[in-house]
Chains A and B, each alone.
Chain A
Amino acid sequence: AQSVTQPDIHITVSEGASLELRCNYSYGATPYLFWYVQSPGQGLQLLLKYFSGDTLVQGIKGFEAEFKRSQSSFNLRKPSVHWSDAAEYFCAVVETGTASKLTFGTGTRLQVTL
């Protein structure tokens, strides 16, 4: 079964600094990949998704992610972090054959210092 790994449990960055959150997937073919964000006490919000085509995907709130097949990675990036970006970020993949069943990574908690 497909899986995604988020190696970083917790990351702290200064406001205005750049951000990269790592996600590695395990799947032979091209997977359907997603990044979600969860603010405290809230549900999840979709930031962006990759299915095929251009490997650099633009999302909401100034986020982007790059799909790298050679590295089995789908890292999330933002050039300049804002204090409001502090949240938990989840990478997810759709399980093959389901088209709707998401498998999530363990999440990366982002702390932003002023």
Chain B
Amino acid sequence: NAGVTQTPKFRVLKTGQSMTLLCAQDMNHEYMYWYRQDPGMGLRLIHYSVGEGTTAKGEVPDGYNVSRLKKQNFLLGLESAAPSQTSVYFCATHRGQGDTQYFGPGTRLTVL
């Protein structure tokens, strides 16, 4: 997963707690994405960014917020975690419009 890292790798939260997931890339890519992956379902887009300082909603944005203050970092926040947010979260990046997305290794989140 060339140049895309995610922190943390695993996390267990209690309902109502908050946390932030970090995606970092060293490829100078403009576009960054946050997906969630649930059993029996394909990857679903939560939020994305087309450049530093920009963010936009994806398919399933509710309960999440994002920020892209620096080009290399894309943060995903859970304000008040719910069991329905138990999932594996993947970050992806690509350089320009139409380029292939490259994925990070994922963060496994469990909300009790």
Q: Do A and B bind each other?
A: no
Interface residues of A (CB under 8 A from B): none
Interface residues of B (CB under 8 A from A): none
